[in-house]
A and B are shown apart, each in its own frame.
Chain A
């Protein structure tokens, strides 16, 4: 039986590796195709590798500037999402208010509606408030797109906090500040980190609003990626931009993963 479980585990590990590893390997190989030796049928692998696609993308696009812009906007968008979501999620997760279900649905609208439709309508609002072509405008736009994820995850985190723990703290004389610091925040921390990841990656990958209200003043990585991925799909160049976009996100995921491993209940009781 133990052997069966071992084999089953190995099988799923291999499936996961293939599932995630093969697309990444394909992107790496495509990003290194030598233009003089196209990777074509019936060749299973590229005939020759060369950094030409990387040189092309770095030479002919504003990718460095776009990287700086993308990674400057994302932390602000995450922070703002957190500040807005925390009190809202507390109310939605712990209090019974009329219209709660409707509010939960409305919050999801920016991600339910097609991105370009949201962008086209919101661009009028951003222009009216003179927020188009501004850094603040882009932070607000990215916050709007990341907010539904942050809010939903935090709301669920607040819902899972056992009432017993809060009652016990109150019996021991804990005030509002102590409850927030020692109970709510530690116990929603895994949810907060998950929300941060969603909000961060949403910001890094946001295209429609950024393109409509940000360009030409600001270019982010997706605005460059879409020129290779959309109508004018060039696989070699798209692979380069995808890898450039993916690498910092993977590093961040590994960092956050370390924090997510801590059990929230033990964290709340100071037994980490």
Chain B
């Protein structure tokens, strides 16, 4: 027995190393991707033979797009539809590894700032992607108030707006004063999510700050937070705290939509792509209507980034190019009604009108203010 035990333990330890695969490292491209021609990148991608892509929404579209990619290029796609937070945590956990397991991923929400600050992505890629000039120009430069310096490729645009049940809201508010009056007259029927849990809530608080503290112009161009400019933000928190009993705070972007569908809310703030997706899947009544009020709500879009330690960088670039191609952007719009990042595609039949987007959509204030806004909302409203 005494001799057997060390033998068994030795076998177990040995088996760990025998069966261990570790991170799969494919043949690294022998070319400099930043100076190579697009044809050379395609060849390098084919040599790599696979690409691993992480997303957290649209599993139907990405599965179909991956199959199209495999068919067109003969490159295998490892598609993982995970959770937003988990995806970024994994990428951050692997940051110290010379070779990671993720090639490219969707980037959005408050993670844009975190990941850019952590220098997680390889690039810039805006000079490499062949169709770069056809993708939303502002989203190439700034996303969620963060300067992305051409590292993140726009693939999808979305916009927040007010979503409502027309059976219960006959004259939806357009101005801040009208909205305030509606909320006071309809306690608990208007809701928005905790801004630390999703962008639609952030967009509402962003507009709240604009209307209660003197507009958004004062923050333009600031790369760091200026304390004197946020000194009067207590006016915004006072507005919320004064009508805390009349407002409903929800847990996430989709939770707001779910509560509208269940009849708890009559009006909420939501992302247009979330709304359409939930409507298509039978999670929201089809009579729901959406608009961008005249007081303005922020919009933006999501991007895709190539990880610095991606094992298959060329394949990742080719995959992103595939997703942003005209055919795929049209397919995404047809499947999900999600607004494309390409500006050369005529779009019809969206929830929000083009007119609304042109006149009422507003840009986010710089990222340091956004981070401060989220932290201060939690401190001054949710924790009080």
Hey, which chain A residues are within 8 Å of B165, CB to CB? Answer: 41
Residues on A with C-beta less than 8 A from B255 are 233
Instruction: Name the CB-closest residue of A to B81.
Output: A227
Is B82 in contact with A227, judged by CB distance below 8 angstroms? yes
Task: Quote the shortest CB–CB distance from B211 to chain A (angstroms).
Answer: 28
From residue 289 to 338 of chain B, which have CB atoms closer than 8 A to chain A? none
Give the residues in chain A near B263, CB-CB below 8 Å: 40-42
Q: Determine if A207 is an interface residue (Cβ-Cβ < 8 Å).
A: yes
Interface size on A, residues (CB 8 A): 52
Chain B residue numbers with a CB within 8 Å of A52 are: 282
| In the assembled complex, A21 has its CB within 8 A of some CB on chain B | no
Q: Would you call A159 an interface residue if the criterion is a C-beta within 8 Å of the partner chain's C-beta atoms? A: no
Residues 190-226 of A, flagged 1 when their CB comes within 8 A of B and 0 if not, give 0000000000000000011001100111010001101
CB pair B83 A230 closer than 8 Å: yes
Known interface pairs A207-B86, A211-B82, A227-B81; A236-B22 also in contact (CB < 8 Å): no
Contact indicator A211/B90 (Cβ below 8 Å): yes
Any B CB within 8 A of the CB of A127: yes
Q: Is B280 an interface residue (CB 8 A)?
A: yes
In the bound assembly, the distance between CA atoms of A137 and B90 in angstroms comes to 16
Asked whether A219 lies within 8 Å of B85 as measured between CB atoms, the reply is no
Q: Report yes or no: A61 in contact with B81, Cβ–Cβ below 8 A.
A: yes
Shortest Cβ distance from B165 into A: residue? A41
Instruction: Kindly list chain B residues whose C-beta atoms are within 8 Å of the C-beta of A137.
Output: 20
CB distance from B320 to the nearest CB of A (A): 17
B283–A127 CB distance below 8 A: no
User: What are the interface flags for B228-265 relative to A under an 8 Å C-beta threshold, 1 for contact and 0 otherwise?
Assistant: 00000000000000000000000011110010011100
Complex Cα spacing A271 to B213, Å: 79
**CB-nearest residue of chain A relative to B108?**
A231
Q: How long is the Cα–Cα vector from A136 to B81 in the complex, in angstroms?
A: 23
Question: Complex Cα distance A212/B35, Å?
Answer: 33
Interface string of A68-100 (1 = CB under 8 A from B): 000000000000000000000000000000000
Q: A33-B282, A41-B262, A132-B23 are in contact. Are A127 and B97 (CB under 8 A)?
A: yes
Is B278 part of the contact surface with A, judged by Cβ < 8 Å? yes
A120–B89 touching, CB < 8 Å: yes
Which residues of chain B in 261-283 are interfacial with respect to chain A, using CB atoms and an 8 Å cutoff? 261-263, 274, 277-283
Contact B286 A38 (CB under 8 A): yes
From A36, A60, A223, B60 is in contact (CB under 8 Å) with A60
With A132-B22, A134-B22 already in contact, the answer to whether A212 and B254 are too (CB < 8 A) is no
Separation in Å of the B278 CB from the closest CB of chain A? 7
Check B281–A135 contact: CB distance below 8 A: no
Q: Please, which residues of chain A bring their CB within 8 A of the CB of B279? A: 38
Please determine whether A38 and B16 come into contact, CB atoms closer than 8 angstroms. Answer: no
B110, chain A: closest CB distance, angstroms = 11
Contact (Cβ within 8 A) B63 A40: no
Q: Which residues of B contact A163 (CB under 8 A)?
A: none
From B15, B92, B274, B281, contact of A236 by CB (8 A): B281
- Collect the chain B residues with CB atoms within 8 Å of residue A247's CB: none
B95-113 interface (Cβ within 8 A of A): 96-97, 101-102
**A118-150 at interface with B (beta carbon < 8 Å):** 119-120, 123-124, 127, 129-137
Closest-CB distance, A229 to chain B (whole angstroms): 8
Chain B CB count within 10 A is highest, among A59, A207, A233, for A233
Interface flags, A11-39, vs B, CB<8A=1, else 0: 00000000000000000000001111111
Inter-chain contact B56/A208, CB cutoff 8 Å:
no
- Of the residues B59, B78, B85, contact of A60 by C-beta under 8 Å: B59
In the bound assembly, the distance between CA atoms of A208 and B93 in angstroms comes to 12
Most chain B CB atoms below 10 A, which of A124, A207, A215, A217: A215
Q: Which residue of A lies closest to B16 (CB)?
A: A136
B285 within 8 A of A: yes
Say yes or no: is B21 at the interface (Cβ < 8 Å to chain A): yes
Counting CB contacts under 8 A, is B52 at the interface? yes
A56 at the interface (CB under 8 A from B): yes
Among B82, B165, B262, residue most surrounded by chain A Cβ atoms (within 10 Å): B82
- Find chain B residues with CB under 8 A from A34 CB: 282
Nearest chain B CB to A147 CB, angstrom units: 16
A155 is an interface residue with CB less than 8 A from chain B:
no
Assess the B85–A231 pair: CB atoms within 8 A. yes
Does A235 interact with chain B (Cβ within 8 Å)? yes
In the bound complex, CA of A56 to CA of B80 (Å): 16
A215's partner among B24, B90, B198, B278 (CB-CB below 8 A) is: B90
Q: Which one of A35, A39, A215, A234 contacts B82 once the chains associate, using CB atoms below 8 Å?
A: A215
B18 to chain A, nearest CB (A): 9
Q: Is A116 at the interface (CB under 8 A from chain B)?
A: yes
Q: Which of the listed residues A123, A212, A234, A237 has the most CB atoms from chain B within 10 Å of its own CB?
A: A234
How many angstroms from the CA of A11 to the CA of B261 in the assembled complex? Answer: 33
Q: Distance in Å from the Cβ of B75 to the closest Cβ of chain A?
A: 15
Do residues A234 and B52 form an inter-chain contact, with CB atoms below 8 A? Answer: no
Output the residue of B19, B23, B81, B258 with the most chain A CB within 10 A. Answer: B81
Assess whether B281 is in contact with A134, with CB atoms less than 8 Å apart: no
A17–B84 Cα distance when bound, in Å, is 36
Contacts of A40 in B (CB 8 A): 261-263, 284-285
Could you list 16 A-B pairs, sorted by A, with CB under 8 Å?
Answer: A33-B282, A38-B261, A41-B285, A119-B89, A127-B94, A130-B17, A132-B23, A133-B22, A136-B19, A215-B80, A223-B80, A226-B86, A227-B56, A231-B57, A231-B85, A233-B255
Q: Which residues of B contact A (CB under 8 A)?
A: 15-17, 19-24, 52, 54, 56-57, 59-60, 63, 78, 80-86, 89-90, 92-94, 96-97, 101-102, 165, 198, 252-255, 258, 261-263, 274, 277-286
20 further interface pairs, Cβ-Cβ under 8 Å (given A38-B285, A120-B89, A231-B57)? A33-B282, A39-B261, A60-B63, A120-B92, A124-B96, A131-B16, A133-B21, A135-B19, A136-B15, A212-B89, A212-B93, A216-B80, A224-B81, A226-B82, A230-B56, A230-B84, A231-B56, A232-B56, A233-B258, A234-B254
Of all A-B residue pairs in the complex, the 5 with the closest CB atoms, nearest first, are A41-B263, A35-B282, A230-B83, A40-B285, A231-B84
